[in-house]
Structure 1
Amino acid sequence: MAPPGDPRRLCRLVQEGRLRALQEELQAAGGCPEMAGDTLLHCAARHGRRDILAYLTEAWGMDMEAANRDYKRPLHEAASMGHQDCVRYLLGRGAVVDCLKKADWTPLMMACTRKNLEVIQDLVEHGASVLLKNKDGWNSFHIASREAMHGHLEAVKVLLKRCQYDPDCKDNCGVTPFMDAIQCGHIDVARLLLEKHKVCLSAEDRLGAQALHRAAVTGQDEAIRFLVSELGVEVDVRATSTHLTALHYAAKEGHTSTIQTLLSLGADISSKDERNRSALHLACAGQHVACAEFLLQSGLKDSEDLTGSLAQQLIGGAAPATTR
């Protein structure tokens, strides 16, 4: 049997929410042992054990600002997991609201990856900055706009109400929140950003790509229709540094359905980039059989024998075994 104060047993008691057993263990051990990495407060915050969080803080004076190996504080853990009662307790006890973990993520940034709107509201009401940026140049707007698993329309609404931010603020790759929303297919978020802040539709990332190009890369057909049909974005607009169109990007990534969408919207199937490559060139280079077949069937007539030869080899099965 593990001796009193064994860290692994204490962590298990916290996870299971067994406050009485934890009290007995700590009293027998004479206090909280030194623990490498996560403290018992981290564990309590992560698992939503508000009563244990209060006990450890008030009875044993544990440090709410103790950082683990990733420099996470208990507030990071509670915000990340959406435990509002723990967040409120820590903030009420004076926890630093904009504490930074590795890569400069704040608790608010972590909360924006979840669907717990109340936690986001609590953090903002306690003064959390919505404009701080992490090491990738993302602020809370970028994160709330881009989360592919979430699409936080309500979170974006809360953040918009709480501050005046640059509508076209960019991360380290030059991506704006509007571009994030579009490339993740969150049209409702994109529409909100347009209505509230009149974002620039032609903003470019560091490679000169616009929102339309990024939607083509990620295969977001509905977002492409939204941009072209509703907002009037030119379907053949080129990225300034590469001269690639959305059709080129879609072919490069092997998105056959996106190619179909772009062609239905009037994209020029024969357009070339600065290296004189068509969409068929890029589909062949990426060994995307279905895309190459579709482009040929759609009437693409390339003047270069090399392209036609590559396409025929690819479709005929002469491509390497890594074809995808």
Structure 2
Amino acid sequence: MGSGWRPSSGTCEVGESISDIVLLTHLGSWADRSPLHDAAFQGCLLSLKTLIAQGFNVNIVTIDRVSALHEACLGGHVACAKVLLENGAQVNAVTIDGITPLFNACCSGSAACVNMLLEFGGTPQLENHLASPIHEAVKRGHRECMEILVANDVDIDQEDSQHGTPLYVACMYQRTDCVKKLLELGASVDLGKRLDTPLHAAVRKSSAEAVNLLTDYGASLTRRNAEFKCALDLAAPNSKVEQALLLREGPASLAQLCRLCIRKCLGRSSLYVVHKLNLPEPLEKFLLYR
């Protein structure tokens, strides 16, 4: 999903030469790209301030409705993003592809930009027709951005029609750190993409580590997808994934059943206060998988 033409030059001039204009004309839909867009994407703070002082509209957009704020966030330039926001840039501006500045900040992995946008009223929980920031953060393995969004009440189990839940995306893109953190934060272990579970995805990607994490958190080995296949049906013969699944067949231990039951009774929001229950340290660590 495009958010603007990427200038090949590393310069930060405020003005444009005749050759620059000719080049932009040949780029078709990017011919309406402004110097403000270029300065924001390249992180040229002084040029950006100068352009704004000269009267450039901070909310000027390209034909695809890409704003300078989109570009600053895609480049991870928090100082530029702050200047634009302080001068009235629309924090929830949407491109024709349904992309917001917050999505671009998650794409670049800039936790600073994510925090800045949220401070200025950025909407973390988006409607289905818009590109989801948390799914993008997970897809690219930007765990800190993901955690910030969850802390700001983004639905950790939000199922995107194209990508499934964040946990499913983490398994599909083999982002094991994100898989672990999502599970720690209370993501529903069996919610994936329609009938396909995160465990199905982890098996397809031959990720034994993700399989072990998911089964530790109570993933069902018997759930069947739209093809009526369980996770073991998808495992390559004699693979580490198959071995991991076979080891988990049969009833879980009493300790594991108790842990899952207690966590379910506490609920996702209560997991944050387990440390306040004055439990023995080994029991606390057991409940929190630490």
Q: TM-score, normalised by structure 2?
A: 0.70
| Cα gap change, 1:80 to 1:226, in 2 (>3 Å) | same
Q: Report what 2:243 is aligned to.
A: 263
Q: Report matched runs for 1:90-109 at 5 Å.
A: 90-109=84-103
With over 3 angstroms needed to count, the CA separation of the structure-2 counterparts of 1:152 and 1:50, relative to structure 1, is same
Counterpart AA for 1:142: H
CA distance in 1, matches of 2:39, 2:83: 12
Deviation at 1:264, TM superposition (A): 4.1
Deviation at 1:56, TM superposition (A): 1.5
Q: Does 1:139 align with 2:150?
A: no
Question: Measured at CA, do residues 75 and 174 of structure 1 come closer, stay the same or move farther in structure 2, by a change above 3 Å?
Answer: closer
Q: Residue 76 in 1 paired to residue 64 in 2? A: no
Contact 2:232–2:245 (8 Å) recurs in 1: no
Query: Who is 2:284 aligned against?
Result: none
Residue pair 1:247, 1:267 contacting (<8 A) in 2 also:
no
CA offset digits 1:180-218 (Å, max 9, x no partner):
22322333323333333x222122423x11000111233
Q: Match for residue 167 of structure 1?
A: 156
**Alignment partner, residue 225 of structure 1:** 212
Residue 174 (structure 1) shift: 6.4
Partner amino acid for 1:41?
Answer: L
Do the aligned partners of residues 83 and 111 (structure 1) sit closer, same or farther apart at CA in structure 2, a change above 3 Å counting? Answer: same
Q: 1:111 aligns with which of 105, 108, 119?
A: 105
In the alignment, the residues of structure 2 paired with residue 222 and residue 68 of structure 1 have an alpha-carbon distance, to the nearest angstrom, of 44
* 4+ long deviations beyond 6 Å: none
**Closer, same or farther: CA 45–129 of 1 in aligned 2, 3 Å:** same
Instruction: Say whether the 8 Å CA contact 2:66–2:95 is kept in structure 1.
Output: yes
Q: How many residues align?
A: 232
Separation (CA, whole Å) in 1 of partners of 2:160 and 2:245: 30
Residues of 1 paired with 2:233 and 2:97: CA distance? 34
Change (3 A) 1:133 1:81: farther
Q: 2-side partners of 1:102 and 1:219: how far apart?
A: 36
* 2:268 paired residue number: none
Contact 2:102/2:133 (8 A) holds in 1:
yes
For 2:108 and 2:118, locate their aligned partners in 1 and report how far apart those are by CA, in whole Å. 15
Query: For 1:222, what is the secondary structure of its paired residue?
Result: helix
Deviation at 1:81, TM superposition (A): 0.6
C-alpha contact (below 8 Å) 2:102/2:117 kept by paired residues: yes
Q: Which of these residues, 44, 47, 53, is aligned with residue 52 of structure 1? A: 47
1:112 aligned counterpart, secondary structure: helix
Structure 2 runs not aligned, ≥5 long: 1-6, 19-29, 249-290
Which residue in 1 is equivalent to 2:32? 37
After superposition, the C-alpha distances for 1:118-152 in whole angstroms (9 at most, x for unaligned) are: 111111111100011464x64222221222xxx12
More displaced stretch, 178-187 vs 88-97: 178-187
Q: How far, CA to CA, are the matches of 1:219 and 1:108 in structure 2?
A: 32
Between the aligned partners of 1:47 and 1:84, the Cα distance in structure 2 is: 12
Partner of 1:153 in structure 2?
A: 143
Determine if contact 2:208/2:240 at 8 Å carries over to the other structure.
no
1:202 aligns with 2:196: no
User: For residues 179 and 208 of structure 2, what CA distance do their matches in structure 1 show?
Assistant: 14
Partners of 2:11 and 2:117 in 1: CA distance:
27
CA drift of 1:98 comes to 0.5
Percentage identity across aligned positions? Answer: 27
- Measured in 1, the distance between the counterparts of 2:196 and 2:60 equals 42
Return the alpha-carbon distance in structure 1 between the equivalents of residues 201 and 66 of structure 2. Answer: 32
Q: 2:221, 2:135 → 1: CA distance? A: 25
Q: How far does the alpha carbon of each residue in 1:246-291 deviate from its partner, in whole angstroms, 9 at most, with x for none?
A: 244455xxxx78x4422343189xxxxxxxxxxxxxxxxxxxxxxx
